[in-house]
Amino acid sequence: MALPVAEWRGRAARLWAALDPALRERLAAASLHDAVRLGCDLLRTEEEAALAQLCHRAATDKKPEAASWYREQGNREFKRGRYQAALRLYSKAASHELPGSPEVSVCFANRSAALLHLGHFEVCLEDIARAESHGYPDRLLPKVLLRKAECLLCLGRLQDAQDILRVLESKIALDGVMTTHLTRLKKLSQLKVKLGEKERCPEPAQEACGGIQGKPEIWEENSRISGASSSLGLGFDAERGRHLVASQDIVPGQSLVKEEAFVSVLCPGESLPLQDGDTAWDTGATNADLYCHRCLRQLLASVPCQGCSYAKYCSQDCADMAWQQYHRTECSLGALLLTLGVFCHVALRTVLLAGFAEVSRLVAWSHCGDKSLQNPEASCKPLSEAADAGAGSRGVPGCDSNGRYQSSYQALFHLLPHAEQHSPEHKFLCTLTVVAICKQLQAAGLEAAVLSQESPQQQPKPKTCENTSDGLSPELKTVAEAMLRHVLQLQCNAQAITVMQELGPGDGAVVDKKPVRLATAFFPVLSLLNHSCCPNTSVSFSGIAATVRASQPISSGQEVFHCYGPHWCRMRVAERQQLLRQYFFECRCPACLEELESGVKSVVSIRNSFCCPKCQAQMQGEEDILCCSNEACATSTSRDHLSGRLQDLQHQIKKALGLLRVGKADQAIKMLLKCQMDAGTFLSPEHLLMGEMEDHLAQVYATLGKWQEAARHLKKSIEIVEMHHGPLSVETGHELFKLAQILFNGFAVSEALSTIQRAEGILSVHFGPQNAQIQELQEMKACLSELPRNILQRT
Ligand SMILES: [Zn+2]
Ligand SMILES: [Zn+2]
Ligand SMILES: [Zn+2]
Ligand SMILES: [Zn+2]
């Protein structure tokens, strides 16, 4: 997904293989500037035509016929009382309707009904207003007005509700009573009765969410590095490049970096099924349906883009800002960008956000400093002239003239592209792809928008697809060069923005969540952190903002590390080193050194090992045949055989979870218990899968309200998670959070309180006191401490 689709990669590979060897050599040695020039000649009309063909699969234009189909599906779900699914389908419908059409107003009105049922009254009112402003048919208005009154009533805005009811009454009187209005009249009188009741005994004004608020964090910003804490310093040397070092002692949980992404692009991701069965259109919800295209906030009632069916926003403000900053250029290229992958999309958006003036300034600068990229400022250009400002950071790439490092395009531009280390073939693919995008920009008449970002808003998207232009304008060549640099930089510097996404319908008492990759982004300050497989920090995200916190004490002078993905708890050293090869360095962290030098077997491989089917001792061997470690037993089995059993087991577990989803909890339990028995005969007791099964069992028992059983299984899962990830890890924190919910629901008060305490302690180190889970834990605690004493004593 980061890279272009397989077919396009294949085409580029074939083209590369067919090139004259001399030309291949020239390309391999070419600077980014020359690579783009050569790429322009090599991208032929055939390739462009093939690419256009591929784009049909990812169409992002509006299709009114899809809209009406989605709306019908939404209505069906609505009638079945599945309001959440209906809501999403109405949103999909709205994204395919033409803006300003009566049809789109009907989508918003229908969606408002689902929102009312789900209790989102404020958002419901917004959708009603949207429906009204998009020309909702007059004859249907009474229905919507009634809904509005009901909403206002629920919000305690009695006067407003009364006003609406008055308008309604006069409207109905005017139209004369028709049969279709009879039910509405009934509803109206019901509402009036309710209104009267509320007026007689007004409820106390709703308290603003209990008033439980975490303590504000202490945060003092670094004067030399934007978004970094004053407890950090910027270091630079040949071996480590730029890096961050603690300039004073740091305690666990302390925030070290708070940075908003310079640029981020939503990853389309997999789709979650909204409905069962296959249908004509995709009814799944992807990241694009669930999160704001610009700020990544979770969507409830999305605002669709005026031009495409892909981009959806949390608000009109976000839609307008995205349009202004980049989407007016990207909108008509939606399918192309989806086909060519997130990295290229990030590269394009980076250039659009930076503005052409800044892009061409830095590209021009890079031409005179190409030979000394390690320390460009020292050799060239007045980017860091100030003589003694910032003794420590002077001459560090990416710093401004005052020796200050900021989350800016300049800093981003200086992230290492490692142009010489990428394989020539990969560089060729990236070049060809970037050139293809720029040619499309030119062909679609978007060049002006790219070059002058301040040009008039709401340009009608001109679609003059003349395929006459054989070359790129010099300006677009500069854009292509910058984009190529960014695509290459992303391989080492792309930061995934992840969130914990709720699994399942989200109406259970215990919420199960899993981490999901939401977007790919550039964080120039976060990029200063080097990798370690046993990092001393933890990163969390809120929208497009990242926060890095110390996950353990860091003493003054120590380097601050962040894990790029391969964590020592999750992978063995060989796998880690393999993954880290894409970053062009060999990890020398304590975990790697220990495992490599002393030949210590990774804890991962011991814990996730197979055990002897006969005597349950650990199986050994690196080859295809595994032998029992118990010499007296001497059993041996083929690795393939055991791997096959493991696969079968995973398949069975999936089936059991499927049963749970369709409400067959008892059968799910039976199946999971059988899986557990089976697993016990060939997996080590500490195997992660053993823990996962315990976790699933806990979940099933929780849906049945059997809290004690649920807690028993979850505790076993926690033991295994602790063993793998450590007792203070995020993973353990999430498990404890679940246990707290189960104990809370089961009124195991004192145990619940101590579990809440532990979960809070761990999660606040990783996510800070404002985190939603922490707030929830505090609410549980408040609720438990308010219970009458006699209940407390009973437990
Ligand atoms: Zn937004
Ligand atoms: Zn659009
Ligand atoms: Zn390592
Ligand atoms: Zn044995």
pLDDT per position as a tens digit, 290-312: 999 999 999 999 999 999 999 99
Specify the 3-state DSSP secondary structure of 559: strand
Q: Which residues are CB-contacts of 393 (< 8 A; sequence separation ≥ 6)?
A: 224, 225, 234, 236, 399, 403, 404, 405
Centre of ligand 1 from the C-alpha of residue 770, in Å: 20
Question: Is 372 within 8 Å of 378 (Cβ atoms)?
Answer: yes
Which residue type sits at 529? L
The confidence score (pLDDT) of residue 467 equals 42
Give the tokens for residue 617: 């001792």
Find the range with the poorest average confidence among 61-70, 408-417, 778-787: 778-787
For 37, the enclosing helix (H) or strand (E) is helix 32-42
- Arithmetic mean of pLDDT, 402-429: 90
Centre of ligand 3 from the C-alpha of residue 242, in Å: 18
The confidence score (pLDDT) of residue 623 equals 76
The confidence score (pLDDT) of residue 504 equals 53
d(C-alpha 90, C-alpha 105), whole Å = 11
Centre of ligand 3 from the C-alpha of residue 601, in Å: 14
Centre of ligand 2 from the C-alpha of residue 662, in Å: 37
Question: Is 579 within 8 Å of 413 (Cβ atoms)?
Answer: no
Centre of ligand 2 from the C-alpha of residue 136, in Å: 23
Find the range with the poorest average confidence among 3-12, 193-202, 256-265, 356-365: 193-202
The confidence score (pLDDT) of residue 791 equals 56
Q: Kindly indicate the confidence band of residue 169, based on its pLDDT and cuts at 50, 70 and 90.
A: confident
Centre of ligand 1 from the C-alpha of residue 86, in Å: 22
Q: Which ligand is nearest to the CA of 334?
A: 2
pLDDT over threshold 60, residue 167? yes
- Arithmetic mean of pLDDT, 416-440: 92
**Residues recorded for the chain:** 795
Q: What is the pLDDT of residues 72-123, one digit of tens each?
A: 999 999 999 999 999 999 999 999 999 888 899 999 999 999 999 999 999 9
Could you give the percent of the chain with pLDDT greater than 70?
85
Of residues 579 and 313, the one with the higher pLDDT is 313
- Arithmetic mean of pLDDT, 776-787: 86
d(C-alpha 300, C-alpha 391), whole Å = 49
Q: Which ligand is nearest to the CA of 587?
A: 3
Strands 303-304 and 312-313: antiparallel
| Average pLDDT of the chain, as a whole number | 84
First-last CA distance in the chain: 52
Centre of ligand 2 from the C-alpha of residue 100, in Å: 15
How many helical (H) and strand (E) elements, i.e. helices and strands, does the chain have? Answer: 33, 15
Write down the residue that tokens 């505090």 correspond to: 778
Q: What is the pLDDT of residues 601-660, one digit of tens each?
A: 666 666 778 888 888 888 887 778 888 888 888 888 888 898 899 999 999 999 998 888
d(C-alpha 422, C-alpha 29), whole Å = 11
The DSSP call for residue 327 is: I
d(C-alpha 774, C-alpha 730), whole Å = 13
Helices (H), 229-315: 287-290
Centre of ligand 1 from the C-alpha of residue 315, in Å: 6
Centre of ligand 3 from the C-alpha of residue 563, in Å: 9
Q: Which ligand is nearest to the CA of 302?
A: 1
The confidence score (pLDDT) of residue 161 equals 86
Instruction: Supply the Cα-derived Rg of the chain in whole angstroms.
Output: 30
For 303, the enclosing helix (H) or strand (E) is strand 303-304
Question: Is 2 within 8 Å of 490 (Cβ atoms)?
Answer: yes
Question: Is 665 within 8 Å of 703 (Cβ atoms)?
Answer: yes
| Closest among 174, 172, 103 to 143, alpha carbons compared | 172
Q: Kindly indicate the confidence band of residue 723, based on its pLDDT and cuts at 50, 70 and 90.
A: confident
Question: Is 546 within 8 Å of 539 (Cβ atoms)?
Answer: yes
d(C-alpha 335, C-alpha 295), whole Å = 21
| Closest among 109, 149, 98 to 131, alpha carbons compared | 109
The pocket of ion ligand 1, defined by CB under 5 A, consists of 292, 294-295, 297, 314, 318
